[in-house]
Amino acid sequence: MKHALVTGATGFIGHHLVQRLLAQGTAVKCLVRSESRSADLTQLDVKLVKGDLVDFKSLAEAVKGVDVVYHLAGLTKSISKTDLMNVNGQGARNLSLACSQSKCPPTLVLVSSLAAAGPTKNGDPRVETDAVNPISNYGRSKRAGELAVIDLADEVPTTIVRPPIVFGEHDRDGFQWFKMIRQLGIHLTPGLQDYYYSVIHADDLASALILAAERGARVDRRSEDNVGIYFAACDEVMTYSDLGRLIGDCVGRSRTRVLRMPMCVIRGVALTSDLWSRVRRQPTILNLDKAREAAGGSWVCSSSKLCSETGFTPSASVEERLRQTADWYIGKNWL
């Protein structure tokens, strides 16, 4: 029986990964910061290990006896650039260092982000050999995490996976798309022109992560071809407007009105939201950092390398996955 440690198991991607690992017979440990946020996990056949990415001692204990570490934990939003760097950058380094000091270092699969590479240039999908150019604090913090584990790759067998927009059941941030379209029939789209996006459902991403652990190449810090780094996305590419219309169909809206917001308006709203977040000391997904990404153009990547080297294939179309997600939100009375 294989043994795996999952960080970020309380998040919505972590939920999908844990379920898939259990279904294939893997013994799963979950690193959690507090039991109060782990209620859903207590109903599963997993072992909870209390720890924190900034607490090296707790990480060294957590990685003992596991074959694979899936590192999903991190911040997607924060009122502090320093916090993003500490958690996404230094946190990844701490975990990789803990793995390196194990008697038999486990395989480390780091979940990074397309944001670590940057937006698409000239409309061509990003591939792993492209030069990176993160344009947001979040993207720079995820790139810092990549560089941290690459630095220790000689001691820890490591694979990096970069997903684009991830959606699916249990996602509270993506839920806001569905909620606004369901209730108001409106889909707010950044910018006055169409940009294209790659997406992936959380369950397909979980499948990609497991395949990366089992069949993927490992990072070679001396290679110039980014060996061991993969983009994971659906083959379908769509505009933000098209994504909203698809969601509208899935939640029963016969017509979804797309409202384009000029970037100056988005920046103004994001600045106001940022200031309010600092007052409340609670970050929101609508912030200046995300506005930088929205102004960056298209965010498209190719998962051809992942498919050819691991056999990964999304199990359903984007439309089918959006409908599945909408049905879950409705069934759980979120909508």
User: What does 74-126 look like in DSSP terms, one character per residue?
Assistant: --S--S-HHHHIIIIIIHHHHHHHHHHTSSSPPEEEEE--GGGT-S-BTTBPB
Q: Give the integer Cα–Cα distance in Å for 72 and 161.
A: 10
Task: Evaluate the CA torsion angle 304, 306, 310, 314 in order and state its sign.
Answer: negative
Q: Give the integer Cα–Cα distance in Å for 166 and 321.
A: 11
Percent pLDDT > 70 in the chain is 99
pLDDT at residue 257, as a whole number: 95
Radius of gyration, alpha carbons of the chain: 19
Task: Evaluate the CA torsion angle 211, 212, 217, 218 in order and state its sign.
Answer: negative
Give the pLDDT mean for 321-328: 97
pLDDT band at 279 (very low <50, low <70, confident <90, very high): confident
**Poorest-confidence range of 11-25, 33-47, 118-132, 304-318?**
33-47
pLDDT at residue 329, as a whole number: 97
pLDDT at residue 276, as a whole number: 87
Give the pLDDT mean for 51-79: 94
Question: How many CB atoms within 10 Å of residue 107?
Answer: 20
**Any idea what the Cα angle at residue 109 is, between residues 105 and 110, rounded to 5°?**
120
Question: How many CB atoms within 10 Å of residue 59?
Answer: 25
Q: Give the integer Cα–Cα distance in Å for 176 and 136.
A: 22
- Give tens-digit pLDDT for 284-308: 888 889 999 999 999 999 999 999 9
End-to-end CA distance of the chain: 40
3-state SS assignment for residue 272: helix
274 pLDDT higher than 90: no
38 pLDDT higher than 80: no
Closest CA to 126 of 89, 158, 162: 162
Percent pLDDT > 90 in the chain is 82
How many residues does the structure list for the chain? 335
36 pLDDT higher than 70: no
pLDDT band at 93 (very low <50, low <70, confident <90, very high): very high
Query: Residue 312 corresponds to which tokens in the numbers above?
Result: 């990964």
Which residues lie below 8 Å from residue 97, measured CB to CB, with a gap of 6+?
56, 152
Query: Residue 185 corresponds to which tokens in the numbers above?
Result: 């029939």
Residue with tokens 């000091």: 101
Q: Give the integer Cα–Cα distance in Å for 111 and 108.
A: 10
Closest CA to 209 of 238, 192, 231, 226: 231
Q: Give the integer Cα–Cα distance in Å for 58 and 49.
A: 9
- Give tens-digit pLDDT for 208-265: 999 999 999 999 988 878 999 999 999 999 999 999 999 999 999 989 999 999 999 9
- pTM of this structure: 0.95
35 pLDDT higher than 80: no
Q: What is the DSSP letter of 301?
A: B
3-state SS assignment for residue 252: coil
pLDDT at residue 79, as a whole number: 86
Domains by residue range for the chain, with CATH = 3-169+199-235+299-315 (3.40.50.720), 175-195+237-294 (no CATH)
